[in-house]
Amino acid sequence: MRNRNIDKILLSVEKPARYIGNEYNAVHKNLASVEVRFAFAFPDVYDIGMSHLGIRILYDILNKRDDTFCERVFAPWVDMEQQMRRHEIPLFALESGDNIADFDMLGFTLQYEMSYTNVLNMLDLAGIPIWSKERTNRHPFVLAGGPCAYNPEPLADIIDFFLIGDGEEAINEIVDCYKTWKYSGDTDRQNFLKHVASIEGVYVPSLYEVSYNDDGTINAITPKIDSLPHIIRKRVVTNLSSAAYPERPIVPYIDIVHDRAVLEIFRGCTRGCRFCQAGMVYRPIRERSADRLVELADKLVRATGYSEMSLSSLSTGDYSQLEQLVKILLEKFQEEKVALSLPSLRLDSIDKSLLERIQSVKKTGLTFAPEAATQRLRDVINKGITDDDILRTVEYAFQQGWQSVKLYFMIGLPTETDDDLYGIAEMARRILDVYYSIPKDQRGRHIDITVSTSSFVPKPFTPFQWDPQDKIDRLSYKQHLLQQQLRMKHVTYHWSDNRLSFMEAVFARGDRRLGRVLAAALANGCRFDAWTDYFNYDGWLKAFEQCSINPEFYAGRVRSYDEVLPWDHINAGVSKDFLIRERERALKGKTTFDCRRACIKCGIERWEGVCDNANAGTL
């Protein structure tokens, strides 16, 4: 039951509906008939967390079990945290209002590194010790998954166990394992951890020993028990059409970031962009069948009442039956007034007439993410889009009356020179030229181009995982140069905070010695670090100093191919020799084609029955 004190503080915080739960389609269960209570935690505010698909999928799967009740918990926003601490209200679950500390399991999803302090803070607010080794049987088991779990090490001393890869199947095995342990009368937490470690994809960091070399690099990561695997292999759901999908998703009351029905059309991406961790770790491509998607779309609209649906994936334009699917959905939704949005649409791969029909339902800005502005650098990062693709598409779009273009670039990519930066301004100029070349009566009345740059962060399991990140001054110089270059009419330039990217780079490729830094940063007041307004760089620098750790060791150092990387004991599918091969090609400016054409032996072809394409298209 929710503490009545909470009702009293709710009127003094921003968006109180973040904390009430009870949304349409939220699940409620009779606690007397439930054996396992699972809290699914998203370490950011409700509005962000509820936009995330993974949480909805696992919520649905766990609540389909009669023996389990899965509830949600999000990071209380700064104002709410203050009130909770003042009134001594511990972190509570949205559905029941019960204290999180009383749950059996608490599962975090790790979507970005800069949410780590929120993980620690949520544990603290719940009254759960932040260090795994200090937890007792009065506390839940704390697990974590999501893309950042591919390098679990910075949280190794905090999280009891990680789940690497797709959670759909593994989560049930974990709950089963927990029940068996619980009813066996065994009260030793360590024993459960040993059991759960035998589930494929599960990594229990406390059961692994890390030794270091004199220069601070890792010597070896070895299991403490013989029976444990040396390498933990990620879980892969091979058939998405038959995989569970939430057909009655929760409909939040407040406007969340993605306030619409979401249809995940496929998982994985084979374009092979060399900076992109998602493209590497979510291999291979697994599509949902168009039939299944149409069926799901119908159910989703009926169960939610949403008037907008988005097709989601890493690269929607690559869906093999996209045209057919979009046509069917548009027809279906015409009557019901449901707008279709395609977020990461690659216009180069979509039929023009289709584009016209999508905009006739709803018109949104045109978005491109060339990531690099010159063909040379795009070849280095293997981003297969050309200037021509972009210019042709904008021309067509301007003729159709579109008036805004957003361009996303990365700065600080390996091999980047000033010429690549000038290229960004050049591209904006050429797009403007295209607009002005169209007769006035055949184009929209305004034009507005937004250029955004983010600063490159090398990520584990990418070909650039050995590369240093540009130093902060260097990145700032580049942004400064761009500010000058992009001082053009109708062009707006946005850039990101380099100090934030620096911290992200440290934790993305960090090891378990960084856990102490996280705790120190939290103590220094750091939380909601991904929110520029709350990012507290001084708090971070102080934390590194307090722990005598040099952040540059993680972000700014060139690593050699034979260095033991903190995530070397995780197998994400892509092999190290593939990544090395790709990095060498990158440095030579050689592109690698999309492996749907033919298998390029990324490593996952060695896993039996996982990639359909591996055998089909061998060169």
230, interface contact from another protein, ligand SF4, none, CB < 5-8 Å by kind: none
Per the CB < 8 A criterion, the answer to whether 429 and 490 are in contact is no
User: Cα–Cα distance between 205 and 160 in angstroms, integer?
Assistant: 7
DSSP 543: H
| CA torsion angle 585 586 588 593 (round to 10) | 60
State yes or no: residue 318 binds ligand SF4 (CB under 6 A): no
Element (H, E) at 593: none
Amino acid at 517: V
- CB 612 to ligand SF4: min, Å: 8
Per the CB < 8 A criterion, the answer to whether 572 and 467 are in contact is no
Beta strands in 506-586, from DSSP E residues, in sequence order: 570-571
Token output for 13: 């915080």
Give the CB-side neighbour count of residue 387, counting CA atoms within 13 A: 15
State yes or no: residue 614 binds ligand SF4 (CB under 6 A): yes
210, interface contact from another protein, ligand SF4, none, CB < 5-8 Å by kind: none
Residue 221: left if φ>0, alpha if ψ -120 to 50, beta else—which one?
A: beta
283, interface contact from another protein, ligand SF4, none, CB < 5-8 Å by kind: ligand SF4
Q: Which is nearer to another protein, 179 or 363 (CB)?
A: 363
Q: Which stretch binds another protein (CB under 8 A): 230-238, 282-290, 304-312, 547-555?
A: 304-312
State yes or no: residue 604 binds ligand SF4 (CB under 6 A): yes
Residue 509's closest CA among 582, 574, 564, 578? 564
State yes or no: residue 22 binds another protein (CB under 8 A): yes
Burial per residue of 177-190, b for 16 or more beta-carbon CB atoms within 10 angstroms, e otherwise:
bbeebeeeeeeebe
Q: Which is nearer to another protein, 11 or 619 (CB)?
A: 11
N-term to C-term CA, the chain? 61
Per the CB < 8 A criterion, the answer to whether 2 and 95 are in contact is no
- Give Rg (Cα) of the chain: 24
Element (H, E) at 323: helix 322-336
Query: In terms of C-beta density within 10 A (0-12 exposed, 13-18 middle, 19 or more buried), how is residue 388 classed?
Result: exposed
State yes or no: residue 602 binds ligand SF4 (CB under 6 A): yes
Q: Which is nearer to ligand SF4, 458 or 603 (CB)?
A: 603
State yes or no: residue 366 binds ligand SF4 (CB under 6 A): no
302, interface contact from ligand SF4, another protein, none, CB < 5-8 Å by kind: another protein
- CB 305 to another protein: min, Å: 3
DSSP code string of 463-499:
TTTTSPPPPHHHHHHHHHHHHHHT--TTEEEEE--HH
Among 328, 600, 608, 619, binds ligand SF4 (CB under 6 A): 600
Per the CB < 8 A criterion, the answer to whether 290 and 342 are in contact is no
Q: Which is nearer to ligand SF4, 18 or 271 (CB)?
A: 271
Count of residues touching another protein (by CB under 8 A): 27
Among 208, 245, 306, 333, binds another protein (CB under 8 A): 306
Q: Which is nearer to another protein, 362 or 590 (CB)?
A: 362
- CB 11 to another protein: min, Å: 5
- CB 47 to another protein: min, Å: 12
Residue 389's closest CA among 317, 319, 447, 448? 317
Amino acid at 242: S
Q: Which is nearer to ligand SF4, 18 or 234 (CB)?
A: 234
Site string for ligand SF4, 266-305 (x = CB under 6 A): ----x------------xx---------------------
Q: To which residue do tokens 């003042």 refer?
A: 86
Q: Which is nearer to another protein, 304 or 312 (CB)?
A: 304
- CB 193 to another protein: min, Å: 38
Q: Which is nearer to ligand SF4, 284 or 414 (CB)?
A: 284
Residue 347's closest CA among 333, 366, 361? 366
Site for another protein in 247-266 (CB under 8 A): 251, 253-255
State yes or no: residue 16 binds another protein (CB under 8 A): yes
State yes or no: residue 336 binds another protein (CB under 8 A): yes
State yes or no: residue 305 binds another protein (CB under 8 A): yes
Residues in contact with another protein by CB under 8 A are 8, 10-11, 16-17, 19-24, 251, 253-255, 301-307, 336-337, 339, 362-363
Residues in contact with ligand SF4 by CB under 6 A are 270, 283-284, 595, 599-602, 604-605, 611, 613-614
